[in-house]
Every structure is written in structure tokens, then in C-alpha cells.
Amino acid sequence: MSERTSYAPGTPCWVDLATPDLEAAEKFYGPLFGWEIPELPNSAEMGGYRRAKLGGKDVAGAMPLMQEGQPSAWSTYISVDDADAIARAIQENGGTMIAEPMAVASYGRLAIFTDPEGAFFGIWEPADFAGAELVNEPGTFGWNELGTRDPAVAKQFYGAVFGWEFDEEPSDRVGTYTIAKVGDAMVAGMIDMNALEMPAEIPANWLV
């Protein structure tokens, strides 16, 4: 289903870009994906946050960098039904809270974490805003993949926090590719960064 009005808890529901130059991002992603990234009526009070639209549908976010030294990066947000309970579960299972659950106007509640290996991700408890209105089509996000150097630890963590179950598939690229599932639905992927011989300085990360 491409158009979405809700996401099952445990499903990636939103992605956004932190960038030092929103205008440059619009000039790049606009022609590439057909996006419009307008300044919104409440962008100023939301720290400059914008929502990229494709055909009038919200597909991603874009925001200025929040602090000096922060890299430009895409982030993945996972839908949850109780941000406070999930925040506790994340910390009890070895994750670190970067930003505690907070209300974002009437849209929902947001929190930011790193997993036990340091990969950044967010959680989103929806209220008026469920997440991307269009997915799995050209110009929208279609898959979210964790790069980890310890798949066993990652599976234990994300399984305990989000209730994910995992299937393993043979892969010519990485030996074994892991698929995370909520019920019968495939929601994310996982690769062993060691199998790709990635340099040690590349941290564990979520790829959009």
C-alpha cells in the first residue's frame, strides 16, 4: 500500500534530513525526486523544520543542523504507541537516550536514541500526524536498513524493544541478509558491516 494514514507500531514511518542549507537541499532533491520543500507557516516555531511533498503528499522532513559539528544525515523514525514505555525499554536494553520524549505541537511525540552500537534512530508516537503519506513509490522512501558490526546484539535489542522477528536470507553482497518483521510485514533490513569490509571509522548507522 503506497498511500498511508497509519503505521503499525514497530514500523518505520518517517525519515528526515538534517542539513546546513535547506535551500540547497531543495535545489538538489527537487529535480531529483520531484519534491517541493516549502517553508511552512509554523516552520519558524518548529526550529526551521519543513516537510517535503510529492504530489501534495508528505514524504520526508528537512531541518537545519541543531548544533555545531553535527553532520548532514538522514534519520529513520519508528512508529510506537507509547513513547514513554518504549523509551524505558530502549534504555533497559542498552540504548542511550539523546532527546527525551517531547510533544511536537499537536502532531505527536518524538524522541531520539542510539542503539547499543551507537546507531541513531528516532521514535514517533502519532497524534495528528502518522508519518509519510506516500511510501514505496519513486521519490518516496521504500526501505530502511541498519548497518551493524554485531547482528546478534542488534537483533536482541530491536527484538526486545519493538517486538521484531527476523528472517535470514542468503546474500551475494553480505553473506546473510537479515529482514525484520512485524507480524507478516517486512519493515526493515540489517547487514553485517564486517562482511562489506567497511572501514572501522564508519559507525553503525541507519540507511534510508
* Mean pLDDT of the 102-119 span: 97
d(CA 59, CA 63): 14
* Mean pLDDT of the 120-140 span: 98
Residue that wins the pLDDT comparison between 31 and 45 = 31
**Domain-located, residue 157:** yes
* Mean pLDDT of the 86-102 span: 98
Residue 53 confidence (pLDDT) above 80: yes
Check residue 45 and give its pLDDT: 84
**Domain-located, residue 139:** no
Instruction: Please indicate, yes or no, whether residues 59 and 155 belong to a single structural domain of this protein.
Output: no
Q: What angle do CA 179, 167, 8 make, to 5 degrees?
A: 55
Residue 1 confidence (pLDDT) above 80: no
| pLDDT, tens digit (0-9, with 9 covering 90-100), for 5-35 | 999 999 999 999 999 999 999 999 999 999 9
**Domain-located, residue 103:** yes
**Domain-located, residue 54:** yes
Mean pLDDT of the chain: 95
CATH number at residue 157: 3.10.180.10
Number of domains in the chain: 2
Domain span at 74: 12-126
| pLDDT, tens digit (0-9, with 9 covering 90-100), for 142-201 | 999 999 999 999 999 999 999 999 999 998 888 899 999 999 999 999 999 999 989 999
Check residue 69 and give its pLDDT: 84
Instruction: Please indicate, yes or no, whether residues 149 and 122 belong to a single structural domain of this protein.
Output: no
Instruction: Please indicate, yes or no, whether residues 35 and 122 belong to a single structural domain of this protein.
Output: yes
| pLDDT, tens digit (0-9, with 9 covering 90-100), for 54-71 | 999 999 999 999 888 888
Residue 56: count of CB within 10 angstroms of its CB: 8
Check residue 143 and give its pLDDT: 98
**Domain-located, residue 6:** no
Give the predicted TM-score (pTM) of the model.
0.96
d(CA 120, CA 97): 10
Instruction: Please indicate, yes or no, whether residues 108 and 57 belong to a single structural domain of this protein.
Output: yes
